[in-house]
C-alpha cells in the first residue's frame, strides 16, 4: 500500500468517526428545530478542521505514542527491576494528568465556584491554593492507580477485586464527603480519558503483559484506564473532606 492510499484511508476513517455527530446535529437542526445552519460556511470549515485534526491525532497514535509506550514497557520489563517499572507507571500517570488541559479547566472552575459559595476565602491566593491542591490530588491518584495496576499485571491479580473494592470505598466515602465536592469528584474520573493519557497507559499495560510469562495481553493488559478513572473520584472526595470537613 502506497503512502498516499494509506493517508487517504486514514482520512476516510476519521470522517467515519465524525460522521455520526454530524448526522445527529444535522437531523435536529433541520428536522426538529427546522432552522437553517447559522454561519454555514464557518461550520463546514470547522468540521473539515475537526476531521483533519482527528486524522493527524490517530496517525500520531499509531506511529508514535503506542510504539513508545510498548517499547518502554518492554525495556523496563527486560531490566527485571520491578521498582523501576512501578515508578515508571506512577510517573507516567502523574505527568500525563497534571498536564491535562481539562483538569486545569475543571479545577479552575471549581475554585471560583467554591470561592463564590463562601466555602473558601474569595481571594486569588486561596483560590490558587485550592486549584493547585485539586490538580495535585487528581494527578497523584492517577499515578498511584497506574502503579497499582502495574503491580496487578505483574502479580496476575484479578481486575475485579480492585474494581469491587474501589467502588465500595467510593460509595462509602460519598456518604461523608461534603456536597460541594461530590460532583467535582465524580467528574474528575473522566479527566483520565484524555487524548494523551489513554494511549500511553494502554500501551504500557499491553507491552507489560506481553513481556511477562503467563500473562495474556487481552486479559491482563487492559484495565489500567479503569483504575485510573476510579482513583480520582475517591481521592478528590478525601481531599474535599480535608478542605471542607466532614458532612
Mean pLDDT: which of 63-72, 88-97, 178-187, 228-237 is highest? 228-237
- Kindly report the backbone phi and psi dihedral angles of residue 117, in degrees, each rounded to the nearest multiple of 5, phi listed first: -80, -5
Span of 57-61, 135-139, 154-158, 195-199 with lowest mean pLDDT? 195-199
**pLDDT at residue 216 greater than cutoff 70:** yes
Q: Tell which residue, 59, 80, 82, 78, has the closest CA to residue 70.
A: 78
The CA-CA-CA angle for residues 166, 131, 171, to 5°, reads: 20
Q: Tell which residue, 181, 191, 190, has the closest CA to residue 237.
A: 181
Calculate mean pLDDT across residues 6-24. Answer: 85
> What pLDDT, in 10s, does the model give residues 146-157?
999 989 988 888
Question: Distances from the Cα of 14 to the Cαs of 5, 11, 58, in angstroms?
Answer: 14, 5, 8
**pLDDT at residue 119 greater than cutoff 70:** no
Q: Looking at residue 90, what is its pLDDT?
A: 92
**pLDDT at residue 14 greater than cutoff 80:** yes
pLDDT band at 118 (very low <50, low <70, confident <90, very high): low
Amino acid at each position: 500500500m502506497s503512502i498516499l492510499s494509506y493517508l487517504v484511508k486514514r482520512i476516510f476513517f476519521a470522517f467515519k468517526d465524525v460522521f455520526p455527530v454530524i448526522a445527529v446535529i444535522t437531523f435536529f437542526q433541520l428536522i426538529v428545530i427546522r432552522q437553517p445552519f447559522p454561519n454555514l460556511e464557518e461550520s463546514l470549515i470547522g468540521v473539515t478542521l475537526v476531521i483533519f485534526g482527528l486524522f493527524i491525532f490517530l496517525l500520531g497514535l499509531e506511529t508514535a505514542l503506542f510504539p513508545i509506550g510498548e517499547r518502554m514497557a518492554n525495556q523496563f520489563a527486560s531490566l527485571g527491576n520491578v521498582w523501576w517499572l512501578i515508578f515508571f507507571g506512577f510517573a507516567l500517570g502523574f505527568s500525563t494528568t497534571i498536564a491535562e488541559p481539562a483538569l486545569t479547566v475543571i479545577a479552575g472552575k471549581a475554585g471560583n465556584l467554591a470561592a463564590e459559595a463562601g466555602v473558601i476565602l474569595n481571594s486569588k491566593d486561596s483560590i490558587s491554593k485550592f486549584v493547585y491542591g485539586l490538580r495535585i490530588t487528581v494527578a497523584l491518584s492517577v499515578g498511584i492507580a497506574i502503579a497499582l495496576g502495574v503491580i496487578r499485571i505483574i502479580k496476575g491479580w484479578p481486575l475485579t477485586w480492585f474494581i469491587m473494592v474501589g467502588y465500595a470505598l467510593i460509595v462509602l466515602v460519598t456518604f461523608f464527603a461534603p456536597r460541594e465536592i461530590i460532583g467535582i469528584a465524580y467528574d474528575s474520573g473522566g479527566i483520565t480519558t484524555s487524548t494523551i493519557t489513554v494511549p500511553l497507559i494502554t500501551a504500557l499495560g499491553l507491552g507489560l503483559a506481553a513481556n511477562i510469562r503467563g500473562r495474556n495481553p487481552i486479559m491482563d493488559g487492559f484495565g489500567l484506564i479503569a483504575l485510573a478513572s476510579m482513583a480520582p473520584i475517591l481521592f478528590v472526595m478525601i481531599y474535599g473532606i480535608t478542605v471542607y470537613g466532614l458532612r
